[in-house]
Structure 1
Amino acid sequence: MASWSNLNLQNSSSPLMENLLYFHDSTMVIIILISIFILYMISSNLTNKFYNFNLLEHQNIEFFWTMIPSIFLLMIAFPSLHLLYLMDEVNKPNLSLKIIGHQWYWSYEYSDFKNIKFDSYMIPLSSENSFRLLDVDNRIILPFNLQIRSLISSSDTIHAWTIPAIGMKTDAMPGRLNQISFLINRPGLFYGQCSEICGANHSFMPICIESINLNYFFKWIKSFN
């Protein structure tokens, strides 16, 4: 979960988020190196007393200042495309979760089991022992180390189901069913919020996933019967 002192991305809780963090770090290294080089050239030109006013063109210089940025762009483009394909891949899901966005709460349904569906509302601000604007009355209970497919839609307006720690952000659109797959690799509580401006109470529809052991998950499933 993000805190006041957190200046970087949240710690990863899924293989996809780990790849996103690696891509972010490698891209930032490239950007920092380019920025240092450009600042050096600007300061060099400002302090240099020697100018060649007769230099009109030089093909070697033009070749290099065209090719070098192209190489940097390719170094960013290939990992980015690889991650985009990974995010769209659905690898034989073991569990399906249907997610419906409403104004302003979420409803969930475990379609692999009978009669397991519930609404998830934000806990009132007066509640103690809870995170402000993040805790809900009914958490999503999911097992870790299991491939999960989420089917996301909306009943009224456009929402966005987002969990930063597992690298998930998918639009919930009325009349359309979006699909995304993820795997949580550790137990814990993972918080998110609607990331689409969906109305007056947009900031009051949080998301909370509780990742538990598979055996405890089956016990939780049996508690509904």
Structure 2
Amino acid sequence: MRKIVAGGLSAFATLLAGASAQAAQPAEWEMRFQPAATDIMHQITWFEEYTLWFIIPITLLVLFLLAYCIVKFRASVNPNPSRTSHNTLIEVIWTVGPVLILLFIAVPSFQLLTNQYTPPEEAKLTIKATANQWNWDYEYQTEDPLSFNSAILADADRAGLGKEDRVVYPRLLAVDNEMVVPANTMVRVLVTAADVIHAFAMPSFGIKTDAVPGRINEVWFKVEKEGFYYGQCSELCGKDHAFMPIAIRVVSEDQYNTWLAAAKSDLPGANKALTAEITAERNVAAAGN
């Protein structure tokens, strides 16, 4: 019995550690948003739940009225249809009612839109993301710039990169080189494209913008929790559109500074060291230490 309990606790700890490591990614049969990792995504989630208080009653009301009319005014019990041309009270209700509902929806939606385009503070890190068919180029706008390419992770490369855990590095979402950013830091991403229109989307951050050749769009985020976050190109961009993931690894500020310093001279080595450190931390957490 003790072994069963201990095994269950160990599995639960591993699950929690894995969840912390992966942070957010698509899940099978998912019906709601991914867990929010930024303040903006919390606002988006609240707004979605808020609008459901209008959408569900309206849907049920329309369903009831349709059913009522079908039953009450069917030909078998109403051979002589009504010739009523208008009803002032009903016309006032169906005019004023929707106006009030739209006002209740419009005010918080405008507030959310304003917040999405108004960062609460200046960005401490700026990264340029250039979309290609079918990968991403990232350029860190630091004093000594760092540039690298990020493409979907091939199964043959998993062992060499230390990314064999398919829970943390899922199929079709994991990449060879993730964008690495520090937690609780305002990050600005300048998004453009080198060939056709793509889109940079990270659901758990609440951001999504088109990557247009010859134009730069700007998004920003401040992630609350360390871990892995996955998104995808969200604009049909060619035959390999489904194989163009976006992976962002959020780490502590110390880990980020160490990675950045090493990555400027040896990106593969810096990534391996960071992966090994995070894996070790996850194993320690799973062991209950």
Offset, 1:62: 1.1
User: In proportion to residue count, which structure has more helix?
Assistant: 2
Cα deviations across residues 87-133 of structure 1 (Å, max 9, x unaligned)? 22233111111111111110111102313111111111444433111
Offset, 1:15: 0.6
Offset, 1:200: 1.5
Offset, 1:54: 5.9
Query: SS in structure 2 opposite 1:37?
Result: helix
Q: Distance in 2 between matches of 1:30 and 1:160?
A: 31
Query: SS in structure 1 opposite 2:200?
Result: strand
Offset, 1:75: 1.5
Q: Distance in 2 between matches of 1:81 and 1:171?
A: 21
Q: Report the counterpart of residue 64 of structure 1 in structure 2.
A: 93
Cα deviations across residues 140-197 of structure 1 (Å, max 9, x unaligned)? 1111111111111111111101111111111111111111111111111000111111
2:179 paired residue among 136, 140, 144: 140
TM-score by structure 1 length?
0.92
> Map of 1:76-87 to 2, 5 A cutoff?
76-87=105-116
Tell me which moved more, 99-108 or 37-46: 37-46
CA RMSD of aligned residues (A): 1.9
2:59 paired residue among 23, 32, 35: 35
Assess if the C-alpha contact under 8 Å between 1:89 and 1:181 holds in 2.
no
Counting aligned pairs with the same residue, the percent is 32
Assess if the C-alpha contact under 8 Å between 1:189 and 1:211 holds in 2.
yes
Return 5+ residue gaps in structure 1 as ranges: none
Q: Distance in 1 between matches of 2:83 and 2:198?
A: 60
Query: SS in structure 2 opposite 1:189?
Result: strand
> Map of 1:38-57 to 2, 5 A cutoff?
38-48=62-72, 53=82, 55-57=84-86
Matched positions, count: 225
Offset, 1:30: 0.9
2:99 is equivalent to residue 75 of structure 1: no
Cα deviations across residues 15-71 of structure 1 (Å, max 9, x unaligned)? 111111111111122111001111222223334479893644332221111100111
Offset, 1:213: 0.9
User: In proportion to residue count, which structure has more strand?
Assistant: 1
2:154 is equivalent to residue 124 of structure 1: yes
Assess if the C-alpha contact under 8 Å between 1:125 and 1:133 holds in 2.
no
2:145 is equivalent to residue 108 of structure 1: no
Q: Report the counterpart of residue 39 of structure 2 in structure 1.
A: 15
Q: Distance in 2 between matches of 1:92 and 1:178?
A: 17
